[in-house]
Structure 1
Amino acid sequence: MPPEHVFVHGAGRRGTDAWPRLDAADGDFVSFTPDSAIATQVSELLSTRAHARTLFVAHSIGAVPTVLAAAHLDVAGMVLVEPALYDISRGHPSIERHIAIVTEARALAAAGDVRGFWMMLRPVMFGGSFRPELWDREQALARHWARTALPWGHGVRERMVHGIPTLVVTGGWNDEYEQIAADLTHGGATHEILSGHGHRPQDAPGFRELVSRFAADLRA
């Protein structure tokens, strides 16, 4: 029996909403409780996938609980989409710059300056500068990102994907994610770029076919 596809969302949209190019029948779409801790997400994956062979497809920070859980599950393969596996690439300039900016921005948010937080975070997360005229519209989004889990400090190591067929998909727009992809390829992962959709290459027209080819190669 082929493995079940399990789609693990990032810090934004959840469930099927996070994967607009896919159909509900394509697999099991995880929907973590908003702002849940990484450890809680790992526990959920372990409990729900304990007796099933799985092909994980995980986006952004969703790759963190996926990789941590994979060592304890029957995993046929993984498709990691712009994986936020910062722990495996510590020391690289682009990674350290991002962590430093986010750390400083989160300190502002913790002190009650959510606008200041967003002025720092928006450019590094979404590629566009802060625009005062959009602040009223973006406040809720800023507050969400000010409390979401951070993707580093969880003990993820590149060796954790060794022995698991892994496809890394990036958008080719951000040095951090390209560096993480490069480090994963050192352990045997394959890397594909789907450009034009920034941090969400799963929105590209060819994404579903890419996952299907990867799954077919596993069966072969």
Structure 2
Amino acid sequence: MSIRRVYVHGAGRQGPDAWPRVDPASGVFTAFAPEASVGQQAQQLVRDIRDARPVVYAHSIGAVPVALAVDQVPVRGLVLVEPALYDIARGAEPIERHIAIVSEARAQADAGDLRSFWAILRPLMFGGPFDAATWDRERPVAERWARTNLPWGHGVRERMLRGIPMLVVTGGWNDEYERMAGLLAADGAQHVVLRGARHRPMDLPAFADTARAFEASLSTQTAAAETRSPTR
């Protein structure tokens, strides 16, 4: 049985550019409109995968609409890369610290002070302090991040993913993502750490082999189930 794949991007690159180690002919690459809410993204995914039962790959915040979508339609499996499922880890210190800092920054942006927004967000998300000398060059990036959907507050719960074969890949660099991955692993997911690319472990050569091994396990499970099924 051939495996259908759907690739869901995070907050940055879209299309095959978001998955450089993936054959562009190997699946369908979802692209969300820049102004689409997380709820709208989820409904787009529901329409895209309703009858396909694919393996869905999702990076970072892309895992949020995926979680909401698979609560409505079945999929064969999930490959979540550094999934930003903050809603399932509320209360944990690194999670709450991140949310508090981003909330403070967004309040500055909402008040019209984009420079103060960037002074707070830049060290958290990109490392290094705000630099007035580079502000003109970085301002478009700040404007985009001030409008980007936040990955919490969407009602994602572990039960939405429970029972779905799942591979979670993290980069081993950030306590927040490791905490969220650990919760998914405790609920039955396979968790693999690929170090060397921080938030984008799918850029590493080992990612393709890891994904293939997971998909092979799905094919084995399907074949075993078909063998046990009575002949009609």
Scaled by the length of structure 2, the TM-score of the pair is 0.91
Q: Which has the larger displacement, 21-30 or 125-134?
A: 125-134
Aligned to 2:4: 4
CA distance in 2, matches of 1:108, 1:125: 16
Instruction: Determine helix, strand or coil for the equivalent of 2:58.
Output: strand
Q: C-alpha separation between the residues in 2 aligned to 1:199 and 1:119?
A: 21
SS in 2 for 1:214: helix
Matched residue count: 220
1:190 maps onto 2:190 in alignment: yes
Question: Aligned partner of 1:4: which letter?
Answer: R
What is aligned with 2:210?
A: 210
Deviation for aligned residue 1:43: 0.8
Question: Which residue of the partner structure matches residue 22 of structure 1?
Answer: 22
Q: Counterpart of 2:142 in 1: which secondary structure? A: helix
| CA apart distance, 1:136 | 1.9
TM-score norm. by structure 1 comes to: 0.96
Matched-pair contact (CA < 8 Å) for 1:5–1:56: yes
- Report matched runs for 1:25-64 at 5 Å: 25-64=25-64
Question: Structure 1 residues 204 and 132 mapped into 2: Cα distance closer, same or farther (>3 Å)?
Answer: farther
Q: Give how far 1:127 is off.
A: 3.2
Q: Cα RMSD over matched residues?
A: 1.2
**Counterpart secondary structure, 1:25:** coil
**Using the alignment, how far apart are the partners of 1:94 and 1:35 within structure 2?**
28
CA distance in 2 between partners of 1:95 and 1:105 (Å) = 16
Q: What CA distance in whole angstroms lies between the structure 1 residues aligned with 2:173 and 2:44?
A: 32
> Which aligned pairs between 1:46-125 and structure 2 lie closer than 5 A?
46-125=46-125
8 Å CA contact retained: 1:45, 1:66: yes
User: Aligned partners of 1:190 and 1:184: how far apart in 2?
Assistant: 8
SS of the residue 2:164 aligns to: coil
Distance 1:214 1:35 in 2: 33
> Deviation digits for residues 181-212 of structure 1, max 9, x if unmatched?
11111110111111111111111121122111
For residue 147 of structure 1, what is the aligned residue in structure 2? 147
Stretches of structure 2 that go unaligned for 5 or more consecutive residues are: 221-232
Cα distance between partner residues in 1 of 2:172 and 2:131: 25
CA drift of 1:112 comes to 1.3
Q: Kindly state the Cα deviation for residue 137 of structure 1 after the two structures are TM-superposed.
A: 1.8
Which digits, 9 at most, give the CA deviation of each residue in 1:31-65, with x for residues without a partner? 11113100110110111111111101100000000
Larger Rg, first or second structure (1 or 2): 2
Amino-acid identity (%): 57
> Please, which runs of 5 or more residues in structure 1 have no aligned partner?
none
Secondary structure of the corresponding residue to residue 169 of structure 2: strand
1:155-170 matched pairs, under 5 angstroms: 155-170=155-170
